[in-house]
Amino acid sequence: MTVAASTTASITAPVADPRLLALAHYAARGVLERVLAGHGITFQQQIALRAVVTADAPPTPDDVVAQVQGSLKADPADIRTTLDDLLAKHLLVADGAHLRPTDAGRELISVAAAEAAPFTARIWAGVDADDLAAAGRVLTLVAERANAELAALTA
């Protein structure tokens, strides 16, 4: 597969491997973290806040911890600290045993997504649909296998 560079030249893409996957992830995450920093929140805070904002029903803190841990493989104690931070920033509110996003929390998710959208569009622009489908299949398989290995390590 060749990928058009910013000039008219083409380069041969390297074979995907763990390092290349990590470099792509952290490059894209770095862009998002810059956007989030402008709003005073971290990547993990955004993931937790988004989990509450997009939930079909108000989740419990345990629900959010489980979802974020499943996504980020983060320490549950750190995720609970993240939820405390979001409550202190008035982006979440406790409603009995459940968490609800505040208007400010919903607005922050919406604004940050809108600010990140042009970067995301440029990053993904022009990537062939077949390449995206192949990458999706490979990344799904890698994630499934890595999750199985992690489960075996923690069993």
143, part of any domain:
no
137, part of any domain:
no
pTM over 0.85: yes
CATH code where residue 105 lies: 1.10.10.10
CB 3 within 8 A of CB 13: yes
Rounded CA-CA distance 31/87 in Å is: 25
Predicted local confidence at residue 5, as pLDDT? 46
12, part of any domain:
no
Rounded CA-CA distance 37/70 in Å is: 24
48, part of any domain:
yes
Q: Which residue has the higher pLDDT, 5 or 47?
A: 47
pLDDT tens sequence across 23-80: 999 999 999 999 999 999 999 999 999 999 999 999 999 999 999 999 999 999 999 9
> Which structural domain, as residue segments, surrounds residue 66?
39-116
Q: Has residue 2 got a pLDDT over 50?
A: no
Rounded CA-CA distance 121/117 in Å is: 6
Residue from 42, 55, 133 nearest 83 by CA: 42
Q: What is the mean pLDDT of residues 114-122?
A: 98
63, part of any domain:
yes
Q: How many domains does the chain have?
A: 1
22, part of any domain:
no
Q: What percent of the chain has pLDDT over 90?
A: 88
139, part of any domain:
no
Q: What is the largest CA-CA distance in the chain?
A: 60
What's the N-to-C CA distance of the chain in angstroms?
40
